[in-house]
């Protein structure tokens, strides 16, 4: 067989083979994370210029400040990471009952990732009891409000939450946004969706969607590698949050063409931000 004919036959044979299945990972790639981070910094600069404020560097909840008023800008991406704490993190708020429950959950894991990896079923079983207890804790509206205040605002450090949509900046009073979630939230545990899954590995804060519910916040333990092991993770579905807040807090006032201030934020924004 000539080389040309052999190559043609090889290509045809390869095309007939079943395509290799690609399992998509949930974790964001470093390249995408870099793009999101840069977009976030650009958004902070843009919003600070709009209101005559200052960008606050670092990883704290406050991104922009003006006249002692703190703004937290939520990233323009599908999933917003609100918290990622390891056992030895210095960011645990010891005065928060919810934070201490989260920290206690991590005590079930052995020191070494390899030990966990060798007996995952055992630790998933231990996690079930912890996550059911945490779900019960957050099912109390007062406890849910306390936890959301912690992860959204660092326990009321933040005054305003800002979400960009297209070219518009939507501004909400932080605690009004949190109370809006608490009013409609249903806190549940995750279910086993397919064979091999273990139920009750997450706590889900869900909100109404039609006749059912959809996930708003997902609280889980990250054990993806030795570098990301025994970490408490809280992520928020950005579009669900934006839709809930804009539909529930309908009163609005528009400033400088693209700053849309909503609900209780209107009076404070006019008085404390635009008047000086």
pLDDT tens, position by position, 122-174: 999 999 999 999 999 999 999 999 999 999 999 999 999 999 999 999 999 99
CA–CA separation, 243 and 249 (whole Å)? 10
Q: Where are the beta strands (DSSP E) in the chain?
A: 54-55, 64-66, 69-74, 79-86, 160-165, 168-173, 186-189, 203-209, 212-222, 231-237, 252-255, 259-262
Residues of the chain short of pLDDT 70, as ranges, are: 1-40, 276
Predicted confidence at residue 24, as pLDDT, reads 41
**SS3 call for 139:** coil
- DSSP conformation class of 91: T
CA–CA separation, 124 and 233 (whole Å)? 16
Query: Which conformational region is residue 238 in: left (phi greater than 0), alpha (psi within -120 to 50 degrees), or beta?
Result: alpha
CA–CA separation, 224 and 227 (whole Å)? 8
Three-state SS across 24-38? Answer: CCCCCCHHHHHHHHH
**SS3 call for 241:** helix
Predicted confidence at residue 91, as pLDDT, reads 84
How many other C-beta atoms lie within 10 A of the C-beta of residue 88? 8
């Amino acid at each position: 067989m000539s080389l040309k004919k052999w190559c043609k036959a090889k290509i045809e044979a390869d095309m007939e083979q079943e395509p290799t299945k690609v399992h998509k990972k949930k974790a964001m790639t470093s390249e995408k994370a870099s793009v999101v981070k840069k977009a976030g910094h650009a958004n902070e600069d843009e919003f600070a210029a709009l209101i005559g404020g200052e960008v606050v560097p670092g990883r704290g909840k406050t991104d922009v400040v003006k006249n002692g008023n703190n703004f937290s800008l939520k990233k323009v991406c599908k999933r917003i990471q609100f918290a990622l704490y390891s056992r030895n993190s210095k960011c645990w708020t010891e005065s928060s009952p919810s934070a201490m429950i989260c920290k206690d959950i991590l005590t079930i894991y052995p020191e070494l990732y390899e030990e966990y990896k060798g007996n995952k079923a055992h630790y998933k079983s231990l996690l079930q009891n912890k996550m059911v207890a945490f779900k019960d804790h957050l099912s109390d509206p007062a406890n849910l409000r306390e936890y959301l205040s912690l992860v959204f605002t660092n326990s009321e450090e933040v005054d305003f939450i800002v979400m960009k949509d297209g070219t518009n900046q939507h501004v909400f009073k932080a605690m009004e946004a949190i109370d809006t979630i608490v009013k409609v939230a249903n806190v549940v545990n995750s279910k086993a969706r397919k064979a091999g899954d273990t139920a009750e590995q997450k706590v889900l804060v869900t909100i109404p969607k039609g006749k059912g519910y959809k996930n708003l916040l997902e609280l889980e333990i990250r054990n993806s590698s030795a570098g990301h092991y025994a970490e408490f993770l809280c992520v928020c579905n950005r579009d669900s949050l934006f839709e809930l807040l804009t539909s529930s807090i309908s009163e609005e006032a528009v400033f400088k063409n693209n700053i849309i201030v909503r609900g209780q934020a209107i009076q404070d924004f006019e008085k404390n931000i635009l008047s000086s």
